[in-house]
Structures are given as C-alpha cells and as structure tokens.
Amino acid sequence: MSEIKAGTMTALTLRLQDELFAVEAESVREILDLVPITEVPNASPFVSGLINVRGRVVPLADLRVMFGMDRPEPDEDTRIVVMEVTIDGEPTVAGILADKVHDVTDIEAASIEEAPKVGMRWRPEFIRGIGKRNGGFIIIPNLGRIFETQGGRSPSSAASEERSAS
Amino acid sequence: MSFSDPNETFRQEARELLEQLELCLLDLEHTPGNDDLVNSAFRALHTIKGSGAMFGFTAVAAFVHEFETAFDQVRKGQTQATPTLIAVALDAKDHIAKLIEHPDQDHDGSDAILEALRATIAGTDVVPAAPKAATPEAAPAQDAPAADPGRWRIRFRLPGDALVYGTNPLLLLDEIKAIGPCTITALTDTIPSLDIIDPEVPYLGWQVDLEGPDPHDAIDDVFLFLKDGMELSIEPLAADTATPAAPEVTAVEEAPVAASEPVPTVAAPPAAKPARTAKSGEAEAGGGERAASSSMRVDAERLDELMDRVGELVIAQARLTQIANMSSDGNLKTIAEELERLSSGLRDTTMGIRMVPIGTLFSRFRRLVHDLSRDLGKEIEFITTGEDTELDKTMIERLADPLVHLIRNSVDHGLESAEKRLAAGKSAHGTVRLSAVYAGAEVAISVIDDGAGLNAERIRAKAEEAGLLAPDAKIAEQDLWQMIFAPGFSTAKEVTSLSGRGVGMDVVKRTIDGLRGSIDVSTTPGQGSTMTLRLPLTLAIIDGMLVRVGNGRFTIPLAAVEECVELPEGIEANARGRNFLDIRGSLVPFLRLREVFGTTAPPEPHQKVVIVSSGEGRVGLVVDQIIGNNQTVIKQLSKLHSSIKSFSGATILGDGTVALILDTSHLVAFGQGYVDQGRAA
C-alpha cells in the first residue's frame, strides 16, 4: 500500500452504493458470486462474516460499514472480491463485499488527487486518493489502514459477553 | 533424501547421537558401574567421530577422538564415572555440539576441555602413571602394562562398497595405531592394471603387526560398522617372525596415501549415500536391546502437506455423504459410507504419524535439572512420568521453551535451600516431577515441586506494586496465581542468572494460549506447587458435535462433550436469573448461547443442553438443536477475528459453508465465573 507510483495504476473498479471505488488489480485473487456467509457472533459489523474460498476459511469485510453507507440486502449484482491485504504486517486473504463489480481499468496517476482534509463525509485516512474518469470520481480506499483499525480488539465482543454474564 | 544437504544430514544425525550420549552420561551418574551405558556412550562418540570425519568436520572428529580416547579409560573399567567426570564429559558433549553447529568459528575451548577431561580421569585413575597423550604415537602407554606384550598380525580387506559408503581407510588405520605400537603394510597384490581400476573400489589390503595384549575387542570396535563383507583375520605372532615385516613400511603416516590411489576419492562421497551408512551406524549404536525396527526420516513439511490433503479429503467426503443422504441411490450411499470409513481411517493414521511421545521432550530436561542443581547448589531429584503420552509434533516443539521456564521456576523459586528444607522438616533434596496424562480431548502436563509453594502475600504485594491490582481489590486465589503470568511480574527477591528478571512466565502464557491451551496453578504453602498445562491433542482434525443456535451452526469438540440433556421447562422462566442445572446432584452452570451470541431468530420450544468439561470445570451450553457428529478440520481464524475468544477456529461443513468451532475451555472458564458470582451474591 505504498504511494501511487508515477504512470498508471491498473485497478479493478467496483461500486459500493452510489460511489465508484478502485482497488489495485494486482492484489485481487478472484471475484466470486455471492456464496453462503457464516456470521461470526460478536464480531464487528465490518468483518461480521466468514466464507469458504476453495477450502479456505476467509473473513468477509463490508467496506460500506467503514464509509458509513446504507447496507441493503445482497442482490443479483452483489459480488465478493477476494484480495490479499496486509494486516499488522501479515499478508491475509480477505473477501470484500461489492454491490457491483465493473471492470479493470488504468487510472492515470496524474489524475489522482489527495483526499481533501475537510468537507468529506469519510475519515480521510481511509482514502489514498481520488481519481477521475469519464468526468466522474473514483475513490481509491486505503485498505491497509482500514483493515488495520479492525485488526485489534473489537470492543463489541467483550461488551456483549459481559452483558450476558451479569 | 537425495536433495538434502549432506552436512545437514550429518548435523541431524549428530544431534541425535549427542542426545543419546547425554542421556547415557546422566544415567551413568546414578549407576556408575553400568557397562551397557558406558558402551552406549562410547558407540555414540564413535559414530560421531566416524561420520564427522566423513563429512569433513575435521575439528569435530579430532576433538571426539580425544574425548573417546579419554573415555576409553572408563570403558576399560580403569576409571570410575564420578560426578565430576560426568560434568566434564557433559561440557565436552556441549562443545561437540558447538563444533558441529558452528564449524567455522574459533574453538579455543577444545584444549581446555580436553585438559580438564584428562585431568579428571587421571585424578581417579587406578593407573596414574599412564596419562593420556594427544598423539597416537604416545598412546600405547595406556595399553602397555607390560604384563603380556604379545604380538599379533591383523590382515584385513575392506568390503568392495566400503569407499562408496564413505569409509576412510586412513581413519581405520589411525584407530588401529591407537591400540598399540604397530607396523602397517599395504597388501598390493590384488591391484588390477590401471585401465580397469575402478576408483571407488578398495583394492588394497592391509597387514598390521601389533604389539600388545589380545586386540580382538579393540579391533572389533574399529571395524564395528564394516564387519559384514570384509575379510579380517587376527593371529598371534611369534616374536621372531614379526621383526622382518617392520622395515617394509616405516613411514606409516605417508605410506597408506602413497600406496593407495583410491583413498582420496573418499573425500567426495556421493551426497545421498553417506546418510545410509550413518543410518545403519546409528541403528547399530542403539545396541542389541533395541529390536531392528525400520523407520525413515521424513521432512516435517511433507507431513504438514499430507495433513492438509487429508483435511481436504475429509471435507470432500463430508459433502459426498450429505449428497448421498439426500439421494435414494443405494449404490451411492454404499460408496459414501465406504469412503467415510476410509477417510476417517486415513485421518487417524496421518495424525498418528504426527504424534510423537512426549518422552523425547522430557529427556531434554534432565540435563537442565542436572545443571540447575549444580549451579544453585540444590540437590534435586527429577522424576518424569507419562513419557509415552503422545502429542502432535508441532505442539511438542513449541512446548519446549515454556516447560524450560516452568522447570527453572520450580527449581529456582519453588525449591528451598537444603538448610531451609531440613528446618521445615523435609528431606534435604527437593523433588521436581514432570508428568503427562491424557484428560479427555486434552493432555495435561504438570510440573510439580515439593518446595515452599507460592506466597500469596508476596504475589499480591508485587501485583499491587506493578499496578496490576488495586490495593483493596478482592481477588479469588486462582486469579491471584494467574498474576504471575502477567508481563514484567517477578517475585524473586534477588535476580539470579536463571530467573527473576520477570520475563519468561508471560511468554509461557502466550505460547500456551497460542496452542489453544491453558495453565492451571495450584499450591499448598510449605508443601509445593503444581503448574498444569492443558493442551489439545492435535491442531489439525478433531471429531466434532454440530449444533444449531438460531440460524448459525457451531461445532463443539466431541472429546469435551460429557452428555446432552434437555433444558427443563421450569428454568426457562428464570431467564436472567442464576443459570444452574442440577446434573445428578451437582450444580452445573449453563450459558445460553443464544444470549452469548445475540441471536434474534425465534428459539426452538425444546432447548438442549450440551454439557462440556475442561479440566475440573463443567458448563452447560444451551443450544437450539443438536445436529450430529462430524469430522472437523480445524482452520485458524484470521487476525480480524482473533479478538473473539468464544471460538477457537472454524471448519468447513459438508455443504461447503463455514461453521465456527467453540472454544470449550474459554466457555467453561466463562461459566465458572458464573459460579463464583453466584456464590458471592
């Protein structure tokens, strides 16, 4: 998750609600149709599920949680993008829920701008940059940071266990 | 095998031999006169020397040779294996290990250790006039009491494949020279013409005229690993016939090299084959008491791979079974059942391969206790039980460090000094026990000492000082003991070289947690303390019981399940009150998993309770439905979910969905918290 290098970034574009996102195509392993999701009780809503990817148990993340979006039920366009992400320095395979997957495209590095520090609905550290294409914006999320904040303790699990113990 | 680095093969071999040597030495300390042990130690040394030279570890070979020469006194019964001698021999053994692991470093210590070894042996020597000498030329002194200066003619030819297997005739001759003064002649009569010479065949024969007593035993030792297929004759020699032979070869040192072209080829033996020789050497070194069991060395990585494959097979088989159950095809059902039987057999076999008796680990600690006993001046009896208990190989490897810490702790902090023990009316020597037993799905490994026991006040004071505990906080005894595993916690009044720096116990705790295990502490003031590690038998595949809670399916390790009962109706009403079941007169707390997991789906009218146990504790888990038993391939959860303690992992079910595995020991501890709260209220 280094800075975007000069030249172009080959990216997979996907849609979360009304926004277009781009992730580095290099770290994408595969794209799956929706598979049965096992809910993990007491996990944070961001990584509340587990899926079976070719015999491996892989956590499923919902980026919409981190960007404060609505989370409607999955429909026929919903896909799971299986990616390699680095969590606390360890490469981990994780699935990302996408409302729709578009295509693989090159984004000119020159067109990518830093996320503005103010005037944004989202936490700026979750965004590496914002690119432009066909007159629209593409958000490039900082997956490293997003997953890192979830790698530690999830406060909800401890709280709920305490509650049921009392 | 053919791809492995021969040096690494030697190192591995040597490590095992050194372990064997160490055990012999330690046993020898208790039974000084035991010839079997002495011989076993000697054979180990001999093999290390032989293969060391073969693989170019010349420093090792040279050192071991001297060690062996010195130790020979013990073998011949001329010296007793005193504790001092054993201590020096152990140092020498450590030195060999260093030489082997770091052959390129400086080894200034060699001479000092050998000197100490010789001095020790000389000190107790019944023949003090015959000190050991470093050079073979001087060596005869040891064997020349001049009582029976016989002369012997030894003729030998090596087996045709000896060079191929890495035998170096020069070393054999060196060994013979060490037996006594001799003259060596090469027998060149069978050397073929140059054009048909095979450089890997030893054409030379040797004739050795040896002075000294009956050399049969000594010669047998030299050719220990070559006896099969070689020609060897030993005949007594009349005094006058020997003399003429002498002038033939006077420069014994150079003669063999000059006379035998084939010899240098030994320096580069084929990579794979020496391992075979070394292997057979080891088997022989094991002595006659061990039956010849055939075994082979396999990369641990390959075993892991095999386990993964079997795991995948088990998952595929589960899917087949599920499909077969839904189908009406009788043939399909039969095949599915057959496959289930086969795959469960294969699973057990594969796991069996990975199981290693824990005795291999325990034996390492005897040396530790021996050294601790010496360094701390405490007399310690070390008793191990349950060495046959088997655990997954990976687990055993990772247990070594935690156990070292626990044993050190027991010896250093637990056991009192001899004076204090006597004053307390105990025997002067302390006892540390290391035991392993099966307990359900777990193995319990205990370190038990009969020392002073944990000091509650001191632990409390220390915990308060370290800010781990509020000064007036109430704390259960069990929880107080667990404080010793907190980082930076140490109650030792002075820091010794062994323990007291406050690192270690927290590492122990972390390692055991990482293995999905737990640590119990119990102590009786004045009588000692017991640390018990509870560990799951395996990290790979378990039998599980599949249950449903709301819409979720969960697996409970079957070995932890004691029984299943129906949740009585009456208790239902008292949902938020005390949750206890009366199981045949004993009170068992229960957890409603629906509440623990925050399930919203409507509950089943008849809830079931699965009673699980871990260690001493039991807890009932209330579920909606018990689905059945299944083979469970354990998959670790990623870091994203590592903070959720109720689950130890996940598995993939027959229909391809993921189910979480409940961490029973965590849930039991959680339920026991209930009990304590219930009593307090």
pLDDT higher at B296 or B561: B561
pLDDT at residue B320 tops 70: yes
Are B259 and B186 contacting, i.e. CB atoms less than 8 angstroms apart?
yes
Is residue B292's pLDDT more than 70?
A: no
Better pLDDT: A130 or B72? A130
From the DSSP assignment, how many helices (H) and strands (E) are in chain A?
A: 3, 11
Residue B531 near residue B451 (C-beta atoms within 8 A): no
For residues A8 and A104, the model is more confident at: A104
Mean pLDDT of chain A: 81
- Identify whether A163 is part of a domain: no
CA distance B681 to B677: 6
Q: Are residues B430 and B465 in the same domain?
A: yes
Last residue of a domain, one of B318, B349, B380: B349
Cβ B431 vs Cβ B450: under 8 Å: yes
- % residues pLDDT > 90 (chain B): 7
What is the pLDDT at residue B429?
Answer: 86
Q: Which of B171-185, B459-473, B474-488, B564-578 has the lowest mean pLDDT?
A: B564-578
Q: Report pLDDT for A4.
A: 52
**Residue B496 is assigned to a structural domain of this protein:** yes
CATH number at residue B595: 2.30.30.40
- How far apart are the C-alpha atoms of B24 and B19, rounded to whole Å? 9
Residue B228 in any domain: the answer is yes
Q: Are residues B65 and B157 in the same domain?
A: no
- Do B157 and B20 share a structural domain? no
Q: Give the CATH number for residue B447.
A: 3.30.565.10
Tokens of B99: 């030489």
> What pLDDT does residue A97 have?
93
CATH of the domain at B260: 3.30.70
User: Does the distance separating the beta carbons of B660 and A40 come in below 8 Å?
Assistant: yes
Closest CA to B24 of B393, B287, B277, B339: B287
pLDDT score, position B555: 93
Interchain CB distance below 8 Å, A161 and B646: yes
By residue range, what is the domain housing residue A21? 8-151
- Output the pLDDT for position B570: 66
Min distance B392 CA to chain A CA atoms (Å): 22
Q: Does some domain include residue A90?
A: yes
What pLDDT score was predicted for residue B106?
62
Helix (H, G, I), strand (E, B) or coil at A73: coil
pLDDT band at B239 (very low <50, low <70, confident <90, very high): low
Task: Pick A55's closest partner by Cβ from B312, B596, B644.
Answer: B312
Weakest mean pLDDT among B578-582, B583-587, B635-639: B578-582
Task: Inform me whether the pLDDT recorded for B543 exceeds 90.
Answer: no
B67: tokens are: 């060690």
Count how many Cα atoms sit within 13 Å of the Cα of residue B185 in the half-sphere of its side chain: 17
Contact A41, B646 (CB under 8 A): yes
Whether residue B366 is found in the same domain as residue B508 = yes
B 461-500 near A (Cβ less than 8 A): none
Average pLDDT, integer, range A37-55: 89
B315 with B449, same domain: the answer is: no
Residue B514: pLDDT over 90 = no
* Mean of pLDDT over chain B: 76
Q: Do A56 and B635 touch (CB under 8 A)?
A: yes
Indicate which of B314, B548, B658, B674 best probes the interface with A, i.e. most A CBs within 10 Å of its own CB. Answer: B658
**Percentage of chain B exceeding pLDDT 70:** 80
Quick check: B357 and B389 in contact, CB under 8 A?
Answer: yes
Look at A38 and B596 and tell me if their CB atoms are within 8 Å: no
Model confidence band, residue B350 (pLDDT cutoffs 50, 70, 90): confident
- Total length of chain B: 681
Residues B364 and B344 in one domain: no
Beta carbon pairs, A and B, within 8 Å? 99
Prediction ipTM score:
0.82
Confidence grade of residue B448 (pLDDT, cut at 50, 70, 90): very high
Instruction: Tell me which residue has tokens 């979830």.
Output: A150
| Residue B113 and residue B92 in contact, taking contact as beta carbons nearer than 8 Å | yes
Distance from CA of B670 to the nearest CA of A (A): 8
Q: Are residues B39 and B186 in the same domain?
A: no
Distance from CA of A159 to the nearest CA of B (A): 11
**Do both B231 and B316 map to the same domain?**
no
Say yes or no to pLDDT of B629 above 90: no
Amino acid present at B315: I
Q: Between the CA of residue B392 and those of A49, A94, B402, B442, B572, what are the distances in Å?
A: 30, 29, 16, 11, 42
- In total, how many domains does chain B have? 5
Of B208-222, B258-272, B282-296, B371-385, the least confident? B258-272
Is A159 inside a domain boundary?
Answer: no
Q: Is residue A51 very low, low, confident or very high in pLDDT (cuts 50, 70, 90)?
A: very high
Q: Per mean pLDDT, which of B74-78, B143-147, B401-405 is the most reliable?
A: B401-405
| 3-class SS of residue B225 | coil
Determine, yes or no, domain membership for B634: yes
CB contact under 8 A, A41 and B645: no
Chain A residue with Cα closest to B673: A165
In a domain, B638, yes or no: yes
Residue in A with minimal Cα distance to B660? A40
Q: Is residue A143 part of a domain?
A: yes
Task: Give the pairing type, strands B182-187 and B205-211.
Answer: antiparallel
A161 and B659 within 8 Å at the Cβ level: the answer is no
Which whole number is the average pLDDT over A73-88? 89
Burial of A1 (0-12, 13-18, 19+ CB in 10 A): middle
The amino acid present at B245, given as its one-letter code, is A
pLDDT at B89 over 80: yes
| Smallest CA–CA distance from B656 into chain A, residue | A52
User: Are the Cβ atoms of A52 and B657 closer than 8 angstroms?
Assistant: yes
The answer to the question of residue B289 being in a domain is no
Distances (CA, A) of B202 to B49, B190, B206, B231, B264: 21, 10, 11, 12, 11
A107 in reach of chain B (CB within 8 A): no
Q: How confident is the model at residue B540 (pLDDT cuts 50, 70, 90)?
A: low
Residue pLDDT, tens place only, B57-85? 777 888 888 888 777 777 777 777 777 88
Q: Which of B536, B558, B581 is the last residue of a domain?
A: B536
Position A2 in a domain: no
Stretch B229-241: mean pLDDT, rounded? 70
A81 phi and psi angles, rounded to 5 deg:
-95, 115
Per-window interface: B 604-643 vs A, CB < 8 A: 635, 637-641, 643
- One domain, residues B458 and B526: yes
pLDDT tens digits, residue range B95-104?
Answer: 888 888 877 7
Q: Which of B536, B556, B588 is the last residue of a domain?
A: B536
| Same domain as B634, residue B556 | yes
| pLDDT band, residue B498 (cuts 50/70/90) | very low
Please give the span between the terminal C-alpha atoms of chain A, in angstroms, as a whole number.
Answer: 43
Contact A154 B552 (CB under 8 A): no
Give the mutation candidate from B310, B643, B652 for the A interface (greatest A CB count, under 10 A). Answer: B643
Quote the number of domains for chain A: 1
- Using a CB-CB cut-off of 8 Å, the residues of chain B touching A58 are 638
Show the domain range for B671.
Answer: 541-680
- Residue A160 forms part of a structural domain: no
One domain, residues B632 and B565: yes
Asked if the structure places residue A97 within a domain, the reply is yes
Residue A119 lies in a domain: yes
Q: Read off the CATH number of the domain in which A124 is found.
A: 2.40.50.180
Strand ranges (E), B406-538: 430-439, 442-449, 518-524, 528-536
Q: pLDDT per residue over B191-205, tens digit each?
A: 887 877 877 778 888
- Whether the per-residue pLDDT at B125 is higher than 50: the answer is no
B130 and B141 part of one domain: no
- Residue A134 is predicted with a pLDDT of 76
Contacts of A84 in chain B (CB under 8 A): none
pLDDT-based confidence at residue B530 (cuts at 50, 70, 90): very high
